[in-house]
């Protein structure tokens, strides 16, 4: 009710144009950290009375709890007893800022200070109007802010990157925010580098703004409160003590950020090493000597080695100096610029090139040096470091961090060349083709050859007119360079690789050329060219001079090689199936060591086509010809039985093998093992004949039976036996076709075939009216058995067999059918047994009669007993007679 009344009065005064007191405090709620200072402002406006107003502060743990007096601007005894000591010590104080504004300060806020605070102003108005107090809530949270920096490297090379890692964390209990700030202290002054937060924005110090914009400073947020600041390409101005500051913020009503607690930790002292302190440059050659001796037309190679602690961060400009003047330069972009001399001497100098061979390694190569290339060579290095980062256009700001020049390497080019005399002489001279040839090249009167100098040789051959496709043409055979490497010429490459031709150095000053088997094309003129090789100070071999010998002619009188081949019988085949064997002997003229290939050929007649039976290569590889039956290859043998003798054997000759046989032999030469054979000469032998007549085997046949008479249902056996005489074939090479015939009449002409078996063993039975069965059994190769099972009267009659022999002919190798053979006849009788035929019917009749009689007796007795039981006498009626008479 009172509040309503005050509001009504205030409204009336306002409408009436009168003023009303307004008391305000800092907007809340306020969040502060325990142990940190707290200040709460309070002011009053639109009041009456004196300009200077008094203020009273009270607090309560709860909004509606009992208020506790804190401090007053006009009453020194205003404070509650529990707070009087803190007020007296200055821990709690009030400061007048203006006549109408004061500030309540708590030097170190405690957790029990959390609560609601009221600011009151005693009334000095003539009329009570407006509000006389204002309230704000204060929340006190524990101090959980932790700043944990990582110590950076104490010494950092100039141009490298410096990473500053700092972890800022706190326990989140209320909506507070964090920020991290890096700074560097030089002396007593501390310069802010970069700040991040609390709104996620980045701010930099004035001295580092341009560097951050160019990318020279980067912020890398991490996880779990870890932040990294990377300073790229540091310079000496980056020396100092680096610090990390972590701050906790609160965002109060009104959009104002309030710092509630902060912590600053020193990360460590960083010292930047200037590039000039670690940069070193060295010019060297392959040898450790600082003085090089070269010969004209050799190659100069020098290496410039650059070392620095921050080498990857440096952009190097490399320049080679010759006697103090720029020879060639590689800019930091990698572009090579050759600095030509202005006095025109550059045209006499060798061609210079510069390349980067590795990290900090640059190689200078001057090819075909001359006397003008001598002098002192030094390597100059200019090291550049990019300041800041790259701009939007892609360019960067560079500054030269250091410049150094290596110690010089002295290069001397000698003008004295070695001299010597050559003598070429034959060691072995061939008299005929395929004999060895050997030439020796002697080096004498050697002068001005350094102790480490070496000799090389090159052999050349010029053919004689009329030999080869391109006469009078010089062909390089091969060469031995200063290292002793064999460099074959294109024409003789295969012969050198196979070993048929060799180049050697048998003494320090003697070289030899040797042909293992000289060919006609090798006749001609030979020269040797000896070169001197000198080892430079860099360890390289360079050719300094070369001399050529006079020509040496190699020639002989050529004789054509010839062959003579003689064939003769070793074993003659007079009958089919025998073995034929012949030998071929070779006689040679004007031939050295050769190999032979053999063709065994045959011809049925002089006008018949020639067939190739077998071949034997010079490598003793045997093959069958196209005229050879694949089934008879095991019967053919061709072998080398002597240095110049070959034998051919044919086992089991046939009629198709008759004809003439001879050897066609070719002589071949080979320069070396693994090289292809070269044909020299060939010849055919005389012809040897195979001729015989075919005489086949003779056969006979007979028939017999173990019994000539059988009873019905017994088995009759008839045996057909064959025999062979003459050239009896093998068991597996002989079979028969056998047929059995039957006639019921003795000596009858009409016969019926009973059964047969062909030469493959297939049995065929003919249809018969008899109920008996038949089978054929082969007991051995020459015996066949006819079995008649369950004989009947219809099986009685004459039997005989007809056989056709088949044998594998040794002459033709094919199955041959001999003449048909017919045996004599055998009569088979099937007897009729009377008793045997009647005893069963009689037995059955007697048994049936006895059975019927016994049955009749039994039946009569049964009927008598059943039908005639009344035995009393019945008187004869007299009327019977009368009845009879009437009838």
Question: How far is it, in rounded angstroms, from Cα 58 to Cα 72?
Answer: 9
Contact 460, 476 (CB under 8 A): yes
CA dihedral sign, ordered 710, 712, 713, 717: positive
Task: Respond yes or no on whether the N-terminal peptide bond of residue 206 is cis (omega within 30° of 0).
Answer: no
Residue 600 lies in a domain: yes
Between 807 and 597, where is the model more confident?
597
First to last CA, the chain: 173
Q: Could you say which of 112, 141, 170 is where a domain stops?
A: 141
For residue 19, pLDDT over 80 is answered with: no
Mean pLDDT, residues 600-608: 88
Question: Helices (H) and strands (E) in the chain — how many of each?
Answer: 7, 62
Q: Could you say which of 365, 388, 413 is where a domain stops?
A: 413
Please, which pLDDT band fits residue 538 given cuts at 50, 70 and 90?
Answer: low
pLDDT in tens, 699-721: 889 888 888 888 888 888 899 99
For residue 263, pLDDT over 80 is answered with: yes
Take residue 485 and report the two structure tokens written for it. Answer: 């490497």
Query: CB atoms < 10 A from the CB of 700, how many?
Result: 13
Q: Could you say which of 141, 174, 198 is where a domain stops?
A: 141
What is the model's pLDDT at position 845? 86
How many alpha carbons fall within 13 Å on the CB side of residue 251?
Answer: 9
Residue 786 lies in a domain: yes
Between 721 and 810, where is the model more confident?
721
- Same domain as 76, residue 87: yes
- Same domain as 605, residue 591: yes
Give whole-number Cα distances, 362 to 386, 537, 552, in Å.
22, 19, 51
Rounded to 5 degrees, φ, ψ at 627 are -85, 5
Please, which pLDDT band fits residue 467 given cuts at 50, 70 and 90?
Answer: low
- Same domain as 136, residue 202: no
- Same domain as 680, residue 571: yes
For residue 469, pLDDT over 80 is answered with: no
Residue 484 lies in a domain: yes
Helix (H, G, I), strand (E, B) or coil at 859: helix
- Please tell me the total count of domains within the chain: 6
Residue 860 lies in a domain: no
- Same domain as 112, residue 33: yes
Query: CB atoms < 10 A from the CB of 449, how many?
Result: 19
Please, which pLDDT band fits residue 55 given cuts at 50, 70 and 90?
Answer: very high
Residue-range definition of the domain harbouring residue 93: 21-141
What is the model's pLDDT at position 394? 47
pTM (whole model) above 0.75: no
Helix (H, G, I), strand (E, B) or coil at 293: strand
Contact 617, 687 (CB under 8 A): no
pLDDT in tens, 196-227: 988 888 999 888 888 888 888 898 888 888 89
Q: Which residues contact 878 (CB under 8 A, 6 or more apart)?
A: none
What is the model's pLDDT at position 17? 42
Mean pLDDT, residues 66-76: 89
The strand ranges marked E within 580-670 are 580-589, 595-603, 611-616, 622-624, 636-642, 645-650, 659-669
What is the model's pLDDT at position 671? 61
Please, which pLDDT band fits residue 463 given cuts at 50, 70 and 90?
Answer: confident
- Same domain as 208, residue 311: no
For residue 486, pLDDT over 60 is answered with: yes
- Same domain as 133, residue 94: yes
Q: In terms of C-beta distances under 8 Å and separation of at least 24 residues, what long-range contacts does 364-368 make, across chains too?
A: 364/300, 364/301, 364/302, 364/303, 364/304, 364/320, 364/327, 364/328, 365/299, 365/300, 365/301, 366/299, 366/300, 366/301, 367/299, 367/300, 368/296, 368/297, 368/298, 368/299
What is the model's pLDDT at position 868? 60
Question: How far is it, in rounded angstroms, from Cα 86 to Cα 460?
Answer: 117
- Same domain as 121, residue 32: yes
For residue 592, pLDDT over 90 is answered with: no
- Same domain as 506, residue 476: yes
Residue 94 lies in a domain: yes
Closest residue by Cα to residue 614 from 637, 634, 583:
637
What is the per-residue DSSP string for 262-285? EEEEEEEEEEEEPHHHH-EEEEE-
What is the per-residue DSSP string for 412-458? EE-----EEEEEEEEEE--SSTT--EEEEEEEEEEES--TT-EEEEE
Please, which pLDDT band fits residue 10 given cuts at 50, 70 and 90?
Answer: very low
pLDDT in tens, 280-293: 899 888 777 788 88
Reduce the secondary structure of 578-603 to three states and give it as a string: CCEEEEEEEEEECCCCCEEEEEEEEE
> What CATH number is given to the structural domain containing 676?
2.60.40.10
Query: CB atoms < 10 A from the CB of 761, how many?
Result: 9
Between 323 and 371, where is the model more confident?
323
Residue 237 lies in a domain: yes
- Same domain as 409, residue 280: yes
* Range with the poorest average pLDDT among 109-113, 486-490, 626-630, 857-861: 626-630
Closest residue by Cα to residue 603 from 684, 683, 667, 666:
684
- Same domain as 247, residue 328: no
For residue 1, pLDDT over 60 is answered with: no
Between 392 and 395, where is the model more confident?
395
What is the model's pLDDT at position 329? 92
- Same domain as 667, residue 763: no
For residue 418, pLDDT over 90 is answered with: no
Closest residue by Cα to residue 55 from 104, 4, 119:
119
Looking at residue 865, the DSSP 8-state letter turns out to be: H
* Range with the poorest average pLDDT among 189-198, 444-453, 726-735: 726-735
Take residue 85 and report the two structure tokens written for it. Answer: 């000591």
Residue 876 lies in a domain: no
Residue 294 lies in a domain: yes
Question: How far is it, in rounded angstroms, from Cα 346 to Cα 286?
Answer: 25
What is the model's pLDDT at position 694? 66
How many alpha carbons fall within 13 Å on the CB side of residue 653?
Answer: 22
């Amino acid at each position: 009710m009172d509040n309503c009344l005050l509001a009504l009065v205030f409204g009336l005064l306002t409408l009436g144009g009168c003023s009303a007191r307004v008391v305000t405090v800092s907007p809340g709620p306020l969040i502060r950290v325990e142990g940190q200072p707290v200040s709460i402002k309070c002011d009053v406006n639109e009041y009456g009375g004196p300009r200077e107003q008094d203020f009273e502060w009270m607090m309560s743990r709860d909004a509606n709890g009992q208020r506790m007096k804190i401090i007053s601007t006009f009453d020194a005894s205003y404070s509650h007893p529990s707070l009087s000591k803190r007020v007296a010590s200055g821990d709690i104080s009030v400061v007048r800022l203006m006549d109408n504004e004061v500030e309540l300060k708590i030097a170190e806020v405690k957790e029990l200070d959390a609560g609601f605070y009221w600011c009151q102003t005693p009334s000095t108005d003539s009329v009570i109007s407006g509000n006389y107090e204002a309230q704000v809530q204060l929340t006190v949270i524990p101090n959980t802010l932790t700043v944990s920096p990582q110590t950076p490297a104490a010494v950092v090379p100039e141009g490298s990157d410096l990473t500053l890692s700092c972890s800022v964390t706190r326990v989140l209990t209320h909506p507070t925010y964090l920020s991290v700030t890096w700074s560097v202290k030089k002396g007593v002054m501390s310069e802010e580098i970069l700040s991040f937060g609390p709104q996620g924005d980045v701010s930099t110090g004035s001295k580092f703004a341009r560097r951050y914009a160019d990318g020279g400073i980067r912020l890398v947020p991490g996880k779990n409160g870890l932040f990294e600041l990377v300073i790229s390409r540091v310079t000496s101005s980056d020396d100092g003590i680096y610090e990390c500051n972590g701050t906790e913020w609160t965002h109060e009503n009104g959009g104002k950020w309030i710092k509630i607690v902060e912590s600053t930790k020193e990360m460590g002292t960083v010292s930047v090493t200037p590039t000039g302190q670690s940069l070193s440059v060295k010019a060297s050659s392959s040898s450790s000597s600082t003085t090089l001796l070269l010969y004209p037309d050799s190659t100069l190679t020098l290496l410039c080695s650059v070392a620095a602690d921050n080498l990857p961060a440096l952009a190097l400009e490399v320049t080679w100096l010759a006697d103090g003047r720029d020879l060639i330069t590689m800019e930091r972009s990698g572009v090579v610029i050759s600095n030509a001399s202005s006095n025109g001497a550059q045209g006499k100098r060798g061609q210079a090139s510069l390349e980067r061979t590795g990290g900090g390694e640059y190689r200078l190569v001057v090819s075909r040096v001359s006397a003008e290339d001598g002098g002192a060579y030094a390597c100059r290095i200019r090291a550049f470091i990019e300041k800041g980062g790259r701009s939007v256009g892609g360019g960067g700001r560079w500054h030269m961090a250091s410049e150094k020049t290596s110690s010089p390497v002295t290069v001397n080019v000698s003008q004295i060349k070695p001299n010597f005399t050559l003598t070429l002489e034959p060691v072995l001279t061939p008299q005929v083709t395929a004999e060895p040839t050997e030439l020796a090249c002697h080096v004498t009167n050697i002068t001005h050859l350094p102790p480490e100098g070496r000799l090389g040789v090159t052999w050349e051959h010029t053919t004689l007119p009329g030999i080869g496709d391109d006469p009078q043409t010089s062909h390089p055979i091969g060469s031995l360079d200063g290292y002793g490497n064999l460099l074959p010429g294109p024409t003789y490459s295969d012969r050198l690789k196979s070993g048929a031709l060799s180049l050697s150095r048998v003494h320090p000053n003697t070289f030899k050329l040797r042909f293992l088997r000289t060919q006609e094309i090798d006749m001609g003129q030979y020269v040797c060219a000896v070169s001197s090789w000198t080892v430079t100070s860099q360890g390289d071999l360079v050719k300094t001079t070369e001399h050529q010998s006079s020509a040496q002619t190699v020639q002989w009188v050529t004789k054509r090689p010839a062959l003579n081949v003689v064939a003769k019988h070793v074993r003659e085949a007079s009958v089919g199936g025998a073995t034929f064997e012949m030998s071929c002997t070779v006689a040679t003229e004007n031939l050295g060591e050769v190999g032979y290939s053999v063709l065994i050929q045959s011809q049925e007649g002089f006008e018949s086509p020639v067939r190739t039976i077998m071949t034997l290569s010079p490598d003793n590889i045997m093959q069958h010809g196209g005229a050879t039956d694949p089934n008879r290859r095991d019967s053919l043998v061709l072998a080398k039985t002597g240095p110049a003798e070959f034998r051919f054997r044919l086992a089991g000759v046939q009629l198709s093998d008759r004809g003439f046989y001879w050897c066609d032999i070719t002589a071949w030469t080979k320069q070396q093992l693994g090289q292809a054979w070269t044909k020299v000469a060939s010849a055919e032998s005389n012809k040897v004949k195979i001729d015989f007549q075919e005489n086949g085997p003779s056969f006979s046949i007979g028939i017999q039976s173990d019994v000539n008479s059988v009873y019905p249902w017994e088995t009759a056996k008839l045996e057909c036996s064959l025999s062979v005489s003459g050239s009896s074939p093998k068991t597996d090479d002989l079979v028969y076709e056998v047929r059995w015939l039957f006639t019921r009449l003795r000596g009858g002409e009409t016969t019926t075939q009973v059964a047969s078996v062909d030469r493959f063993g297939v049995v065929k039975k003919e249809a018969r009216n008899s109920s008996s069965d038949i089978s054929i059994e082969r007991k051995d190769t020459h015996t066949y058995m006819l079995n008649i099972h369950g004989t009947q009267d219809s099986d009685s009659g004459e039997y005989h067999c007809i056989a056709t022999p088949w044998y594998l002919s040794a002459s033709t190798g094919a199955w041959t059918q001999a003449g048909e053979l017919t045996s004599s006849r055998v009569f088979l009788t099937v007897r009729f047994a009377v008793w045997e035929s009647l005893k069963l019917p009689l037995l059955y009749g007697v048994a049936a009669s006895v059975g019927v009689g016994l049955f009749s007796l039994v039946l009569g007795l049964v009927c008598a007993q059943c039908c005639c039981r009344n035995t009393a006498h019945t008187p004869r009626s007299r009327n019977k007679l009368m009845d009879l008479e009437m009838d």
